[in-house]
Amino acid sequence: MTKIFAHRGSSGTHPENTITAFKEAVRLGVDGIELDIQLTKDGELVVIHDYTLDRTTDGTGKILDYTVEELKAFDAGSKFSPEFAGETIPTFREVLALLQDTNIELNIEIKKPVKEDTGIEEKMIQELEKYQYSNRSIISSFNHDSLKRVISINKDLECAILYMKKFENPWEYAAEIGAKALHTYRPETDREMVTEAQHKGFPVRVFTINKAEDMTKFFETKVAAIFTDYPEKAMKLLKEVEK
Ligand code: G3P
Ligand code: MG
């Protein structure tokens, strides 16, 4: 059965990648949550999608130029809606603490704009171990060097290649780098690829599915999971499809 992952939390109805968006996903009883992590100036992990503050907060400039304490002063809720004023950029640790007593799976997407070693992978792995979240986490990234680094530290973690453009036999490339799953872009994902990949043991999870017709299509294709900004809608639709 297809799993429903709340993309950046329940981000269609709540400000993306914030505690309120993750709490809403927990309340709905989603199978999984996807979030994006980045390193701060002082080497901490925070949960935010863009490399800059501008789109989702009342701040400006690069995440990497601020310490956690400085980042905590910005409002990450008001731009979505005034009713969420006061929401802050969460640390990765805060999200792990929130989810600790649930059985929700976590897809951690590493946002790392550079090739050089920054230590983000080690830091993430340490925190997953501390919160005993390693065995229900999937690590993904468009930066495949970063995934290789994760695998070289702990080959038992489930890593998934993220990519936009489809290419031949993606499972072969995934296997070469030690990744165990494919996270694919909706318009570039077809039934034949999904069937073959999953037959070969590589779960396919598709982003970002927000329209009912696309949800139904991918439920029928039996993808392992969809990432959606509207998990409540997806969960209702999945029940219909299963009837
Ligand atoms: O991990 C799936 C999806 O989140 C990848 O794209 O830009 O939304 O992080 P993006
Ligand atoms: Mg993401």
**Residue 8 CA: which ligand 1 atom is closest?**
4
- Residue 3 has what pLDDT? 98
Average pLDDT, the chain: 97
Would the CB of 229 count as within 6 Å of ligand 1? Answer: no
Four-point Cα dihedral 111, 114, 116, 119, nearest 10:
-20
Does the pLDDT value for residue 115 go beyond 90?
Answer: no
Q: What is the CATH number of domain 3-242?
A: 3.20.20.190
Would the CB of 93 count as within 6 Å of ligand 1? Answer: no
Minimum CA distance residue for ligand 1 atom 10: 49
Q: Which residues is 159 bridged to in the sheet?
A: 139
Question: ipTM of this predicted complex?
Answer: 0.99
pLDDT in tens, 204-235: 999 999 999 999 999 999 999 999 999 999 99
User: Cα(35) to centroid of ligand 1, in Å?
Assistant: 8
- Residue 130 has what pLDDT? 97
16 close to 44: Cβ distance less than 8 angstroms: no
102 close to 114: Cβ distance less than 8 angstroms: no
pLDDT in tens, 2-20: 999 999 999 999 999 999 9
Indicate the top mutation candidate among 35, 37, 223, 227 to test ligand 1's pocket, ranked by most ligand atoms within 8 A of CB: 227
- Residue 242 has what pLDDT? 85
Helix/strand/coil for 40: coil
**Residue 109 CA: which ligand 1 atom is closest?**
1
- Residue 228 has what pLDDT? 99
Stretch 145-170: mean pLDDT: 97
- Residue 93 has what pLDDT? 98
Does the pLDDT value for residue 32 go beyond 90?
Answer: yes
Does the pLDDT value for residue 200 go beyond 90?
Answer: yes
Tokens representing residue 55 in the block: 């789109």
Domain boundaries, the chain: 3-242
The residues annotated with a catalytic role in the active site are 7, 49
- Residue 69 has what pLDDT? 98
pLDDT band for position 37 (50/70/90)? very high
- Residue 29 has what pLDDT? 98
186 close to 208: Cβ distance less than 8 angstroms: yes
Minimum CA distance residue for ligand 1 atom 2: 207
pLDDT in tens, 44-70: 999 999 999 999 999 999 999 999 999
Q: One-letter amino acid identity for 6?
A: A
Burial of 50 from C-beta contacts in 10 A (0-12 / 13-18 / 19+): middle
User: Cα(207) to centroid of ligand 1, in Å?
Assistant: 7
- Residue 160 has what pLDDT? 98
